[in-house]
Amino acid sequence: GLVCTGSGGAEAIKAEFRDNDINYGLMRVKFNFEKAGTVSADTTKFIFVTWRPESIPLKRKMKIGQYDGAVKKTFQSYHTVLEVNTKDELTDQVLADLIAEITMTKDNRTEKRTSGVYRGGMRLSWRRAKDDAERAKLKPDSRAEFKAIKGANVNFEDQGAIEEAIRDVRNDATSTRWCLVAYINKDTLALVD
């Protein structure tokens, strides 16, 4: 089948990553925002995950880079973006730290406050989809509208199945916590099966 969705956490989605190409996923992460006595405020955040394994040739990464905007638009809206190059960069603890950082619930009393999560000496940053959409409308000189790169249209093998999988991730009534898509050829994405 075309659909690759799951109810597990980081380990479950990592097990489905295709190591030979870029994958995109949407994860639903629930966390406890605040607890006072027996009352707890649980909330849900959505994370757009891009898996770019280091083994992919640079030419392929550059070619696929022009499709990122169209792919992100398909997965909108989400609270943050996490780009990973090795599987050890995606763990449940990394997700918890990322959510704590963006919701400003991280306890910074005993550690120096940082503006991001650091892994392997590299700073991970995150952006809001709304900010990306606004920046995409402007040229670098900020005076004219953005023009799409010729040939930057990504194809989706079964757009309806992908949209249904995304709806399942967003639906709290389902156990689906993530969905994953990968390229099946040079410019066509499909849900991982």
What would the two tokens of residue 166 be? 């995304």
Please determine, for residue 8, whether its predicted confidence score (pLDDT) is greater than 80. Answer: yes
Q: Confidence class of residue 155 from pLDDT cuts 50, 70 and 90?
A: confident
Cα–Cα dist 189/36, whole Å: 45
How does 150-184 read in b/e, with b if 16+ C-beta sit within 10 Å?
Answer: eeeebebeeeebbeebbebbbeeeeebbbbbbbbb
Per-residue pLDDT band at 151 (split at 50, 70, 90): very low
What is the 8-class DSSP label of residue 74? H
| The most confident of 24-28, 53-57, 72-76, 182-186, by mean pLDDT | 24-28
> Mean pLDDT score of the chain, rounded to an integer?
78
What proportion of the chain, given as a percentage, has pLDDT over 70? 72
Nearest residue to 77 via CA among 45, 122, 43: 45
What sign has the CA pseudo-torsion 20, 97, 75, 69?
negative
pTM assigned to the model: 0.72
Question: 25 near 144, Cβ under 8 Å?
Answer: no
| CA neighbor of 43 nearest in space, from 55, 54, 30 | 30
